[in-house]
Structure 1
Amino acid sequence: MATILYTNFALFDGTGKEFVNNSWLLADTTTGRVIQTGTGEQPLADETIVLHGKYVMPAMVNSHVHIVNKVFPYAPKTPLEPFEYADQAFKNLNELFHSGVTYTRALGTAHDFDIGLQRLTEKGALNDTTKLIAAGRAFTTTGGHGSKAGQEVDGPEEMRKGVRERLKAGAGAIKYMASGGIAFAPKEQPWEFQMSEVEMRAGIIEAHKKGIKVAVHEQPLEGVKAALRARADSIEHAFEMDDEALELFHATGAYLTPTLIAPYVIIKRGDGILPQWMVDKSYTWVEKHFNSFGMAARDGVKIALGTDAGSPLNGFGDTALEAELMTIAGATNLQVLRAATQNSADLLDITADYGTLEVGKFANFMVLDANPLHDIKTLQTPNDIVHTGKIVTTPYHNDFADLYPLDRGHLGF
């Protein structure tokens, strides 16, 4: 066993409410796991690294990405060869990794390419980059949102069979595209309620038999409530909210993954670059989206952090930008830190190993220059990333984001 002792830092282990000063953490670099944490007297180790009063928190978990999509530079999507999908996926995983994300969940991938990446994760072949849980192709109604790359189903029997097929293929999650959206087609609108409650429930029952969770893309209010009544495990986006929807979140224990960044960057990076119909729809919905999430955060709904990375101009290095937007919309910094770590790990069913820096879990953490409970933007510029106990990267910088600064449009935030 080889050990590294990290010392002289403030620790947020993911379970408490504050950073604890003068902390230390002992890691086993053979297993990659935390042996012990504490304050005061320090244990002996093979190597000691002094962090000089910096701030340490668990590495983030991004619960919603589209892993094979190329984001920068912007260009209309074109079909790729299988090796090109694989190459882009690895680039995206590495971008997540070097920006502080230790695990992610792919929610809708053409041709089920992400299921192969999940198999690599399960075999231990992705130990040096971000690991992945895969949903394969998303389920959509005929001609519905995401139907070009998803699996079209109509009626509960088709949904039931489709989910069984996806589980047979090895999916670790199930994704429904149950409503319209912003970026799919000019005439499609987010208020479209495309998938019935009966259809959703049929597939959710099948997934839950195998212990697999279902994430539902829902943007209109009635769709959000229908998905919750059908026992969805997470609602992705939720552009509208009311008291009844909040009560359903609490009653079912479902997570809300707002992905505020998705319409936000269409405006702030894409106004004048992306198709005008896409920008116009974002303007129509972005404030409703922020207000909806703010209602949920203030009401104590369970929140996960996901970015929808792979959507237009929504980069894989922007997980921490989503964290900032969540605070702008009304979440506390503590809610966001928990959403980015423990909560998202719980949603992905990986809390045995990830999400907090407790003894026995992987020693994956971010070293920050400032306290993110006071300044959430510090997550965007980590000083170091530590993976399985070892420092693996210096500060991350997104060169493509420099080409697409957040300076377009006329939003007030």
Structure 2
Amino acid sequence: ALTLPSLHGCAIPKKNVPAIDDATFLIKNANLVDVTSGLTVENSWLLVENGTIAAMGTGNIKNNYRGMVFDLQNRFLIPGLIDAHCHATASPVFSMRMTDLPNHARQQKQNFVSAVESGITTIRDMGAFPVLLKRFIRDIEKGNMPGPRVVYCNSILNVMGSHPEIPPSDINFFALPASLFIGMIMNNFKNTKEMEECLEENARGASFIKLTLDNRTIFCKKNKAIPVYSKEQLDIIFNFAGKNGLPVVGHHHFKFGFDRAMAYPFHSIEHLIADRILSDDDVLRMAKNNVAIVPTMTVAQSYLMEEAFDNIPPPYATPDVMDELHVRKNYFGHEAFQHCDPVLHKQNLAALKYYKTIGRDNLWEHKKFLVDPDVYFGMMMNGYANLKKMNQAGILIGCGIDAGMPFCYFGGNYREYEILQRNGFTNIEILRCATISNAKILRLEDKIGSLETGKYADMVVLDKNPLEDIRALRSPCLVFKQGDPMYSAINLQENGIMGRQPAKNT
């Protein structure tokens, strides 16, 4: 009989976080970073009750508080970070080997843990194995493992043969039987009738609908064309979405997909286009349509596949691209091993040789599903310019790295923050992208995204001020999700941060 590897196993304890039974606690001596004003408020305190910020202020508390106290000792307090584009149950590899199934099972669980350990308290999953995702969500809610809250779409509602068009059985013969137990990331509907059935089923429990909009592939294939939704199908989808209050979001890499998105009431579009710089009219149209974007520049950087070339083609060898190639090389050789199972990361690195040993034009026929480097060199070059235009136009810009995809590993979201900085974003703009702007994209701005009375106590403690050094976001000191300490980099009690003494002189 076919047996699945254990996807859950033993509970994962929170690091350096003792159990806390108190529904109420005080945070004091904090330098609070207000993402709305862009100011740092010194000597701040917050009173947390039942997972919500009940009161906050500066200086002395009127009534001397007795109970659980977290003394931040002048560390910096920011809202919980949000990842607006990830795939938490995906295996971050180009292909799968049966011998690596235990590694994949561990990595899937670690994705959720790595998220909170990097300060992320909420994620928007953009396409999952739905059954498996809901198992992990239950484990997180039961306290069996640390993890973020999850907003999800279930599967991607895509046309058979459209992005991502890789047949599951070509990744691993185990994929189709396993789908009976864990679901499928893509719906792959064949006709309009089947689409309507998928649409209703896939919407159950979902917070949004995910579509893919391009008419050409991102993979190394001789035939670049892929099928797209008919007008009838899009009309049905948006009619259903409107009746059920579900926003629709769209993957796009090319101008064709962008133009399709502008013709319908999309809530957000994902990634950036590779094939041109948008005109001022294009950006104005996007602003008028009130469409948000999650650019995922980390994807473009990760897939700057210089391994496909003997020398970088001169049109691609711009200063910005060469800088990103240097950062990419350093990440692949060092931090990536901390964010991904080393066996899986080494497997990804080894796959890069196929660009030359098999040849770009032959990869698809050999079932080597590597991306077309021209797409991502184009995305990096044009993306820098397009993103600057969007930011200047006041378009809502979110933050995510497509975590769960090869080389885009959970725990590495700081890569996106630092790419945005190199692209000219200020530190407060970056922090807003990762907090309040993402909260708006998730339609949860009344609950998360900023530290305000009445909102969830999603909080990240940092040793340094991210408004002065964005690299401070690389190393959270302490992470709370809805008032629950999820992770600490240090022993809270030994370092005098956490205690049950009265809060004197606060």
TM-score between both structures, scaled by the size of structure 1: 0.83
Asked if 1:103 is matched to 2:196, the reply is no
Secondary structure class of the residue paired with 1:19:
strand
How big is each residue's C-alpha offset from its partner over 1:300-337, in whole Å with a ceiling of 9 and x where there is no partner?
Answer: 11111121111111011112221121222233322221
- Cα distance in 2, alignment partners of residues 196 and 176 from structure 1: 13
Asked if 1:337 is matched to 2:356, the reply is no
How big is each residue's C-alpha offset from its partner over 1:181-234, in whole Å with a ceiling of 9 and x where there is no partner?
Answer: 776554476x97844565434312312321112110012123213213211111
- Cα distance in 2, alignment partners of residues 258 and 23 from structure 1: 34
Q: What residue number does 2:488 align with?
A: 394
Task: Give the C-alpha shift of residue 291 in structure 1.
Answer: 2.0
Q: What residue number does 1:399 align with?
A: none
Task: Give the C-alpha shift of residue 67 in structure 1.
Answer: 1.2
- Cα distance in 2, alignment partners of residues 80 and 170 from structure 1: 34
1:223 to 226, 243, 257: 257
Q: What residue number does 2:29 align with?
A: 8
Secondary structure class of the residue paired with 2:83:
strand
1:162 to 195, 198, 205: 198
TM-score between both structures, scaled by the size of structure 2: 0.69
- Cα distance in 1, alignment partners of residues 399 and 78 from structure 2: 15
Of residues 359-368 and 384-393 in structure 1, the stretch that sits farther from structure 2 once superposed is 384-393
1:139 to 151, 154, 157: 157
CA contact (8 A) 1:323 1:336 kept: yes
Secondary structure class of the residue paired with 2:303:
helix
Asked if 1:280 is matched to 2:373, the reply is yes
CA contact (8 A) 2:82 2:434 kept: yes
Of residues 203-212 and 229-238 in structure 1, the stretch that sits farther from structure 2 once superposed is 203-212
Q: What residue number does 2:71 align with?
A: 50
Q: What residue number does 1:238 align with?
A: 272
CA contact (8 A) 1:26 1:45 kept: no
Secondary structure class of the residue paired with 1:342:
helix
Q: Which amino acid aligns with 1:137?
A: S
How big is each residue's C-alpha offset from its partner over 1:261-319, in whole Å with a ceiling of 9 and x where there is no partner?
Answer: 01212332378753535362322432112222122112211111121111111011112
The number of residue pairs the alignment matches comes to 389
Q: Which amino acid aligns with 1:375?
A: D
CA contact (8 A) 2:88 2:112 kept: yes
By relative contact order (CA 8 Å, sep 6+), the higher-ranking structure is: 2
- Cα distance in 2, alignment partners of residues 93 and 292 from structure 1: 31
- Cα distance in 1, alignment partners of residues 474 and 217 from structure 2: 26
Asked if 1:174 is matched to 2:268, the reply is no
CA contact (8 A) 1:12 1:57 kept: yes
- Cα distance in 1, alignment partners of residues 159 and 432 from structure 2: 34
Q: What residue number does 1:33 align with?
A: 52
Q: What residue number does 2:96 align with?
A: 77
- Cα distance in 1, alignment partners of residues 42 and 406 from structure 2: 41
Q: 1:230 to 1:154 in 2, by over 3 A?
A: farther
CA contact (8 A) 1:193 1:223 kept: no
Secondary structure class of the residue paired with 2:26:
strand
Secondary structure class of the residue paired with 1:152:
coil
Asked if 1:204 is matched to 2:297, the reply is no
- Cα distance in 2, alignment partners of residues 202 and 330 from structure 1: 40
2:402 to 308, 320, 325: 308
CA contact (8 A) 1:146 1:184 kept: no
Q: Which amino acid aligns with 2:207?
A: G
CA contact (8 A) 1:64 1:309 kept: yes
CA contact (8 A) 1:159 1:200 kept: no
- Cα distance in 1, alignment partners of residues 457 and 25 from structure 2: 10
Q: Which amino acid aligns with 2:384?
A: F
CA contact (8 A) 1:197 1:230 kept: no
Secondary structure class of the residue paired with 1:372:
coil
- Cα distance in 2, alignment partners of residues 317 and 197 from structure 1: 39
Q: Which amino acid aligns with 2:206?
A: A
CA contact (8 A) 1:115 1:136 kept: no
- Cα distance in 2, alignment partners of residues 349 and 174 from structure 1: 14
- Cα distance in 1, alignment partners of residues 296 and 475 from structure 2: 20
Of residues 238-247 and 58-67 in structure 1, the stretch that sits farther from structure 2 once superposed is 238-247
How big is each residue's C-alpha offset from its partner over 1:150-179, in whole Å with a ceiling of 9 and x where there is no partner?
Answer: 223467665444322311x33222111221
CA contact (8 A) 2:238 2:248 kept: yes
Q: What residue number does 1:260 align with?
A: 297
CA contact (8 A) 1:61 1:345 kept: yes
Q: 1:323 to 1:39 in 2, by over 3 A?
A: same
**Runs of 5+ unmatched residues, structure 2:** 1-21, 168-184, 305-327, 333-347, 361-370, 491-506
Greater C-alpha Rg: 2
2:453 to 346, 359, 366: 359
Q: 1:196 to 1:115 in 2, by over 3 A?
A: farther
2:468 to 357, 368, 374: 374
Q: Which amino acid aligns with 2:478?
A: D
- Cα distance in 2, alignment partners of residues 353 and 199 from structure 1: 34
Q: Which amino acid aligns with 1:173?
A: F
CA contact (8 A) 1:114 1:135 kept: no
Q: Which amino acid aligns with 2:476?
A: P
Task: Give the C-alpha shift of residue 90 in structure 1.
Answer: 2.7
Q: 1:99 to 1:335 in 2, by over 3 A?
A: same
CA contact (8 A) 1:163 1:207 kept: no
Q: 1:285 to 1:181 in 2, by over 3 A?
A: farther
Percent identity over the alignment is 24
Q: 1:184 to 1:96 in 2, by over 3 A?
A: farther
- Cα distance in 2, alignment partners of residues 144 and 382 from structure 1: 39
Task: Give the C-alpha shift of residue 107 in structure 1.
Answer: 0.9
